[in-house]
Amino acid sequence: MTYIVQGGLPIEFVTDSLQLDHDAVCCPLIKAMDKLNKATHVREKTLLTDDAAIRALVDAALNSLIDLFKATRECQQEVHRQLAGEIHDAVLDTFLGETLQELDEQSTHTLFDYHQTEDIQVMTIDDEFIHLKVSGTVYADLQYGSGSDMRNDMGAVISDSYPYTARLQSTCRSSREIIKDTVDVSVDNSSFFE
């Protein structure tokens, strides 16, 4: 049950940093699973024949499962909330440190201005990594002509913006740090050609 909710995140991180009550989330489902196991492994003393008792068992199991899904979502939301600043900086470093073909092919010189993160999704949390997907908008100045052309009033600079997506990872052990070489940014420049 623990792995379903938090993947490989340490329990201390989930309870202390994410402020999720591990026992409150997992115990009701464990109890429901125990009851289901008793009903599944039919013995004379565990056989349920009363319709109301069967319905109560199923209702308790389904409610526990719904609570488990809610806790999983809460955990993911809290992870991305805590990672938001790191994610922004990791994407910023990529825009500043790498030449992105989708931006570079549009002008003589492409100058990154800034970016906005609009959505962060925790795709998966496994035993080792937190896999994230980010979408946002990148703002850039597209310069046509050389620096000399610009000084001689023969060039132009156009400011534009484009949607981007980025995939990145963090380790479960150091969940507040983005692994820099896992940042993969893709810019959708199709609006430039319309």
**Interval 56-84: pLDDT, tens:** 878 877 877 787 777 777 766 776 677 77
Picking from 167, 129, 177, 182, the residue whose alpha carbon sits closest to that of residue 7 is 129
Residue 36 has a pLDDT of: 66
Confidence category of residue 194, pLDDT binned at 50, 70, 90 = confident
Nearest Cα residue to 22 out of 30, 11, 7:
11
Residue 167: the pLDDT is 94
Is the Cβ–Cβ distance between 29 and 95 less than 8 Å? no
DSSP-derived secondary structure for 45-105: TT----HHHHHHHHHHHHHHHHHHHHHHHHHHHHHHHHHHHHHHHHHHHHHHHS--HHHHT
* pLDDT at residue 46 in the model: 65
Tokens of residue 164, six digits: 């981007």
Domains of the chain: which residue ranges? 2-76, 85-193
Confidence of residue 32 (pLDDT cuts 50, 70, 90): low
The SS3 assignment for 23 reads: helix
Supply the pTM of this predicted model: 0.66
Q: Please, which residues bridge with residue 144 across strands? A: 156
Q: What percent of the chain stands above pLDDT 90?
A: 17
Q: State the sign of the Cα–Cα–Cα–Cα dihedral 60, 62, 67, 71.
A: positive
CA distance 175 to 162: 29
The arithmetic mean of pLDDT across residues 164-172, rounded, is 90
